[in-house]
Amino acid sequence: MQAIANDVFRALADPTRRAIFEELTRQGEQTVHALTRYARVSQPAVSKHLTVLKRAKLVRHRREGRETHYRAQPDALTPMVDWLDHYGAFWRDRFDRLESLLERMNS
Amino acid sequence: MSNLQEVTRTLVIERVFPHPPEKIWRALTEGPLMEEWLMKNDFQPVVGHRFQFRAMPAPNWNGIIDCEVLEVEPNARLSYSWGALGLGSVVVWTLTPGESGTHLRMEQSGFPSEEGANYKGAKYGWQKFIGNLERVVGGME
């Protein structure tokens, strides 16, 4: 569970991948060509990003002739939602900061 | 699947700090100190006071969290509503003095869960929230 969540976080930490994922969420299935036009980066770069998204199970693909079509799997965000819920990364991080602030404070 | 317990979730973080409650209270309620560990804010420890936390804006999110002070019990209990990206929740801080220091408990409740009718919306909200989580991801490497 933790490992999958980390993949999801890492995959979406990159703004281009996030944009590609959001585009797929908005537009439905898209070809690599269409995504390349949208993302305005090279096709090999888009393919690399799609591989990372695929590993995190955020997208699925199917081949049709010479084109590969990708679609978003928003359910893959569930581990992230759970992760946030269970591990409370945000607040843990803030608790750490609070701890160091308290150490710096005089009284 | 339709009772309130099942459609909301609660996040609890607890820690014991080797400091007196009065000192922790200051860190929880004095704006400039809160900014150092939490976020920029215009907080005032006054019930009914509306304020905002301001995080780094992210794609599709202006970084603003709208809040209202709900309870102020000096050195013991503080709560405020927490609204961001359509997710309404309440944050409750409880301070309990003990032998080894102060037990600080943060409870955030109100996250819609899978069973909730708003789950799709909530998921989309989290998706928008991702930009702000980059720091967390950075810390995980």
Mean pLDDT by 10 residues, chain B (141 residues): 41 88 95 94 97 80 87 97 74 94 87 40 39 37 33
The answer to whether B64 contacts chain A (CB < 8 Å) is no
- Count of pairs with CB atoms under 8 A, one residue in A, one in B: 86
Say yes or no for a CB contact (<8 Å) between B59 and A18.
Answer: yes
Domain range for A59: 2-104
Radius of gyration of chain A (CA): 18
Indicate the pLDDT class of residue A89, thresholds 50, 70 and 90: confident
Domain count for chain A, please give it: 1
Say yes or no for a CB contact (<8 Å) between A89 and B135.
Answer: no
The answer to whether B15 contacts chain A (CB < 8 Å) is yes
Q: How many CB atoms lie within 10 A of CB A81?
A: 22
pTM: 0.56
> Token pair for residue A16?
């281009």
Say yes or no for a CB contact (<8 Å) between A105 and B134.
Answer: no
What is the residue whose two structure tokens read 């991080």? Answer: A93
What is the residue whose two structure tokens read 């309620």? Answer: B29
Domain count for chain B, please give it: 1
Compute the Cα dihedral for B124, B108, B71, B116 and give only its sign: positive
Domain range for B95: 4-140
pLDDT for A21: 87
Q: The domain that contains A95 carries what CATH number? A: 1.10.10.10
Min Cα distance B127 → chain A (Å) is 8
Q: The domain that contains B35 carries what CATH number? A: 3.30.530.20
The closest CB to that of B130, out of A18, A102, A105, belongs to A18
> Are the C-beta atoms of B49 and B66 separated by less than 8 Å?
no
In angstroms, the CA B76 to CA B45 distance is 13
ipTM: 0.73
Q: What is the mean pLDDT of residues A89-99?
A: 88
Closest CA relative to residue A39, chosen from A24, A29, A60, A55: A24
The closest CB to that of B13, out of A9, A81, A91, belongs to A91
